[in-house]
Amino acid sequence: DGGITQSPKYLFRKEGQNVTLSCEQNLNHDAMYWYRQDPGQGLRLIYYSQIVNDFQKGDIAEGYSVSREKKESFPLTVTSAQKNPTAFYLCASRSGIAEAFFGQGTRLTVV
Amino acid sequence: QQPVQSPQAVILREGEDAVINCSSSKALYSVHWYRQKHGEAPVFLMILLKGGEQKGHEKISASFNEKKQQSSLYLTASQLSYSGTYFCGFRGSGGGADGLTFGKGTHLIIQP
């Protein structure tokens, strides 16, 4: 079945550590997105990519980095520069002007 | 800039109707509507394109006023399964598959 897979489902990070969240899709979608969700804030766009080896900053890119080496994969790294990383992270993909499909999310907690 | 959604929360009895509104300060190409249950991924409901084309759920309807940059989602004869948080997402008129920007959400609670 086609879809988007995010891993891990839960992730714990120590202060000062970088962590990478995985997002893989087999829908053959060109565009992929990362969103951060905090209570009462909705979905805020971190980064997005329209094609391989190209990506753009969203509204809250500071403290995050991404890569798009393959069409199927769009990993997000939460760096130590992100001072408040505890949140629910959602990855999505889309083709053309159609709807976006979301992964099941990764809940990141700083310990 | 995030779309502005209203109301922030709605409590209804099963069978009642609801309207959720969304507005943008920028010119829009398309409007997307999603519903999210707690701790789960958002699920697609409706997409409205500039020019009038629509695609979406059978029992949910929506409107898109291109001139006012506003959209409304209409939930009629609500069912318990309609409970959740509803998000509108806007894509600007710059073209391409640029980032969808979502509002803060409307919490809908349906009571028996």
Chain segment A24-62, per-residue pLDDT in tens: 999 999 999 999 999 888 899 999 999 999 999 988 999
DSSP bridge pairs for B62: B73
Paired tokens of A31? 């565009």
How far is A105 from A95, CA to CA, in rounded Å? 20
Mutate to test the interface with A, among B100, B104, B107 (most CBs of A within 10 A): B100
Per the listing, tokens 């990141």 go with A108
Residue whose C-alpha is closest to residue A91's, from A58, A62, A69? A58
CA angle B94, B106, A83 (to 5 degrees): 70
- pLDDT tens-digit map of B47-98: 888 777 677 766 788 988 888 889 999 998 889 999 999 999 987 655 544 6
Cα nearest neighbour of A104 on chain B = B41
